Amino acid sequence: MRIILNVIWLVFGGLWLALGYFVAGVICCILIITIPFGIAAFRVGIYALWPFGKTVVEKPTSGVGSLIGNVIWLILCGIWLAIGHVITAFAMAITIIGIPLAIANLKMIPISLMPLGKDIVDVGTARTYQPGPA
């Protein structure tokens, strides 16, 4: 079922959302200081391509640096990507088939607003998640 939902997601909005994340990642990688934002954008962009079967977990090792980075990300890119998720979710929710996709789209808004200090893992390993070395 996950594969079917992922394929439908990819065709009806996931590709455009991922493209938005990849553009944000390229823009962030232009300056050396914002490369961590670019890497986070690419990571979330891959998640936006194939989201079903994955989940977001907090990194227990993240600290003040992630918080400051998330505030900067929110101002530069996060709000625009979140607006893209809301618009896409609204368009997907028009049909009955698209309702699960719209719900998944709305669940992606928190990571689009604050991607630093989070990991994207498989659903099966989320309960036993142990982060790698910091």
pLDDT at 22 over 80: yes
The model's confidence at residue 132, banded by pLDDT at 50, 70 and 90, is low
Range of the domain at 121: 2-125
In our burial notation (b when 16+ CB lie closer than 10 A, e otherwise), range 42-80 reads bbbbebbbbbbeebbeeeeebeeebeebbeebbeebbee
Question: Is residue 42 domain-resident?
Answer: yes
Task: Write down the pLDDT at residue 133.
Answer: 55
Gap between the Cα atoms of 39 and 49, Å rounded: 16
User: Whole-prediction pTM value?
Assistant: 0.80
Question: Is residue 130 domain-resident?
Answer: no
- The number of domains in the chain is 1
Question: Is residue 131 domain-resident?
Answer: no
Question: Is residue 58 domain-resident?
Answer: yes
